[in-house]
């Protein structure tokens, strides 16, 4: 299992070994930490989140923003709320530092929704307010205002 290149392969190997052990009345050996990590169903999200963070650090502009968003979502899928919040705060700092970014209002709105999921209404409020200020269209402003009012 330690040598499996993907987590799903490690799970399959473990299931096969378990079946053989049960069939022949053998005990399964203790797993080392590396193998145990591969059997964790949330591990692939942690690995991808860390990779996205590294990529975001190497990139600038819209591609960095995309990587930050991907990292946050993967940390959330991995049920690592603290890590997701840390990356969301990094993303917010970078996003708010350059309001000339293409689609700034949409990115602020999306980040606000992420902060709502992370149960950070204070940060969500700031993002929604920035999105309203940056938006050019009244219908969009109203839509974002509804989200803000729901906090």
Summarised one tens digit per residue, pLDDT across range 14-36 is: 677 777 777 878 786 677 676 66
Question: What separation in angstroms does the CA of 76 have from each of 53, 82, 85?
Answer: 14, 9, 9
Q: Are 69 and 91 in contact (CB under 8 A)?
A: yes
pLDDT at 11: 64
pTM of the model: 0.77
Tens-digit pLDDT profile for residues 58-83: 988 888 899 999 999 999 999 999 99
């Amino acid at each position: 299992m330690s040598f499996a290149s993907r987590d799903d392969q490690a799970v399959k190997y473990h299931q096969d070994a378990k079946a053989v052990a049960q069939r022949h009345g053998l005990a399964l050996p203790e797993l080392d930490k590396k193998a145990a990590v591969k059997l964790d169903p949330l591990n692939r999200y942690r690995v991808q989140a860390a990779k996205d963070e590294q990529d975001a650090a190497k990139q600038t502009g819209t591609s960095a923003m995309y990587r930050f968003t991907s990292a946050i979502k993967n940390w959330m899928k991995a049920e690592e709320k603290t890590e997701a919040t840390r990356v969301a705060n990094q993303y917010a700092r970078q996003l708010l530092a350059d309001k000339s970014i293409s689609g700034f209002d949409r990115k602020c709105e999306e980040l606000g929704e992420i902060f709502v999921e992370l149960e950070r209404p204070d940060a969500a409020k700031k993002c929604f307010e920035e999105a309203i200020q940056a938006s050019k269209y009244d219908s969009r402003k109203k839509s974002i205002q509804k989200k803000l009012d729901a906090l």
